[in-house]
Structure formats: structure tokens, C-alpha cells
């Protein structure tokens, strides 16, 4: 049982839901990534999703695209990120998930990627542009290393396709709350609960909702019917806003995250 599975078991026992925070590794620099991850645990975050910067992030909207650009200008590498995860792991046992597109994994090598993830303390991976049929080898390697493979279900996913995805997903299932890219939204779709209910009829695995979740009210709403809420762009906006006041950034962003995490 890895840290993600244990976290959901612990939350279920306490009748609580998971709050998952996304940040881009290396934005504004790798030191900040490490400090934010440590601070987020104290702010009430249950799982941290660390985005690996990529030049063509097809699932991400402008906010996360720009965060990737900022990180890439810092010449951030996969090795930098793995070393950062290793340092974080020395200080906390909070579950850590890497969100990456397939190209960096392919260039690095699947076996090498999973081996490095295992030895540094990664608990799960999300690869949005890798369908399960094309990811069989990566899934097998990850399972052998006790690393969860988390796949997306969207509003347009058919029920037959859902059955395939819930079978190969471990850790949790990521429900994409909208038909579009990531980005903070004023409102969330009214049919999310219906879609989550459909998924839950097919599996006992946790279902968490992301994309467009931006406010404490959104998080509270999602946690009424899902097993967790995922917030990314709204947090990235705070990091960007305070990046020029580096000494204040960790505290300011953590306070913002604490307000989001409380409803979960």
C-alpha cells in the first residue's frame, strides 16, 4: 500500500475528503517548489501534484502554460525535480504525484523514469497524453514499483471507456470537470455530481475532481459527492502574484491554500 492509498483510507475513517494541490516544479524556482510542498502539508493539503514543465502542455490553459515557461527558462530538468522530491521526502511523508506529458518520460526512458521515481519517493504519476492502451509497459513498471497510475475521465467519456479507465487507474481516478483545458473558473458545471455518480457505480476507487476548481465554495461543493478536489491554476496565480516578493510568497500562497483546503 503506497501513501496515496493510505491517505484515502485515513480520510475515509475520519469521514473527510482529500484536498489535492497542484504546483509546477521550478516556478518560480526549485527551492520554492520544495518550500511550498512542505508548507502545503501544514496548510491542510492531503496530496501534492507536482507538474513537470513541458513546452507543449496540451491539457493546460494559459496559467499553467506560463508557469511551465517560467520554469523552463530556469533550465529545470527531470533530475532537478527528482532531487527536489528526494529532499521533500526527507522532511515529510505527504503523498506526491508527478504530472507529466509523455515526451519527457520517453526521452528519459520509461524504466529509468519509474526507477528514479521509486527511489526518490514518488507515489503516483499522471500522463494526460498517454492512453491506457499505449501505456501498458509504463503501467506495469509503475505497479511493480508500487507507484499509482492515475488516468482521466472527462464529461465526454463513454461508459464503456470508463470501464477501461477505472480498471487501469490506481490511487484515484481524476475526473475532469469541464470540456476544455485547465484554468480558474467563476462557476463549475452543474452536472459534475451526475458524472461522478456514474463513475462510482463502476468502481470503489476514489474519484477526485479537477480543472476549473478555484474557490473554497467550489471545493466544498465537490466534496459533497466526490472523494476529493484538485486545485491548480488558482494556486499558480497566487505564486505568480507574489513571486516578486519572494520572502512573502511561501506564507501568502500557503494562507490561500489553507483557505481552499478547509472545506475538504
Nearest to 97, CA basis, from 233, 9, 3? 3
Give the DSSP H/E element, type plus range, for residue 48: strand 47-51
Which is the catalytic residue, given 34, 49, 123, 227?
A: 49
Does 15 participate in catalysis according to the annotation? no
Nearest to 217, CA basis, from 260, 254, 171? 260
Whole-angstrom distance, CA of residue 28 vs CA of residue 15: 36
The dihedrals phi and psi of 210, each to the nearest 5 degrees, come to -140, 180
Whole-angstrom distance, CA of residue 70 vs CA of residue 93: 28
Cell triple for residue 18?
Answer: 482529500
Query: What does the buried/exposed string (b/e) look like for 16-33 if buried means 16 or more CB atoms within 10 Å of the residue's CB?
Result: ebbbbbbbbbbbbbbebb
Nearest to 11, CA basis, from 117, 95, 98, 96? 95
Does 60 participate in catalysis according to the annotation? yes
Which is the catalytic residue, given 60, 79, 118, 248?
A: 60
Cell triple for residue 69?
Answer: 515557461
Cell triple for residue 157?
Answer: 467519456
Cβ atoms < 10 Å from Cβ of 221: 18
Strands, E, within 95-213: which ranges? 96-99, 124-126, 148-150, 152-153, 173-176, 207-210
Which positions are annotated as active-site residues? 49, 60
Amino acid at each position: 500500500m503506497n501513501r496515496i492509498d493510505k491517505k484515502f483510507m485515513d480520510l475515509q475513517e475520519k469521514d473527510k475528503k482529500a484536498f489535492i494541490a497542484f504546483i509546477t516544479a521550478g516556478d518560480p524556482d526549485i527551492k520554492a517548489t520544495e518550500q511550498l510542498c512542505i508548507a502545503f502539508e501544514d496548510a491542510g493539503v492531503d496530496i501534492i501534484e507536482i507538474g513537470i514543465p513541458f513546452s507543449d502542455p496540451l491539457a493546460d490553459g494559459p496559467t499553467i502554460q506560463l508557469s511551465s515557461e517560467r520554469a523552463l527558462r530556469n533550465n529545470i530538468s527531470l533530475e532537478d525535480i527528482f532531487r527536489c522530491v528526494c529532499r521533500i521526502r526527507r522532511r515529510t511523508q505527504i503523498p506526491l504525484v508527478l504530472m507529466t506529458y509523455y515526451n519527457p518520460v520517453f526521452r528519459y526512458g520509461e524504466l529509468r523514469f519509474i526507477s528514479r521515481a521509486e527511489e526518490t519517493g514518488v507515489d503516483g504519476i499522471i500522463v494526460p497524453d498517454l492512453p491506457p492502451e499505449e501505456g501498458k509497459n509504463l503501467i506495469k513498471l509503475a505497479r511493480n514499483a508500487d507507484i499509482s497510475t492515475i488516468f482521466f475521465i472527462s464529461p465526454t467519456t463513454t461508459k464503456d471507456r470508463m470501464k477501461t479507465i477505472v480498471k487501469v487507474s490506481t490511487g484515484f481516478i481524476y475526473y475532469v470537470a469541464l470540456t476544455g483545458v485547465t484554468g480558474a473558473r467563476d462557476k463549475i458545471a452543474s452536472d459534475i455530481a451526475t458524472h461522478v455518480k456514474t463513475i462510482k457505480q463502476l468502481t470503489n476507487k476514489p474519484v477526485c475532481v479537477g480543472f476549473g476548481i478555484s474557490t473554497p465554495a467550489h471545493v466544498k461543493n465537490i466534496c459533497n459527492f466526490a472523494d476529493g478536489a484538485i486545485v491548480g491554476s488558482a494556486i499558480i496565480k497566487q505564486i505568480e502574484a507574489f513571486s516578486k516578493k519572494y520572502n512573502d510568497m511561501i506564507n501568502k500562497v500557503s494562507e490561500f491554500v489553507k483557505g481552499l483546503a478547509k472545506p475538504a
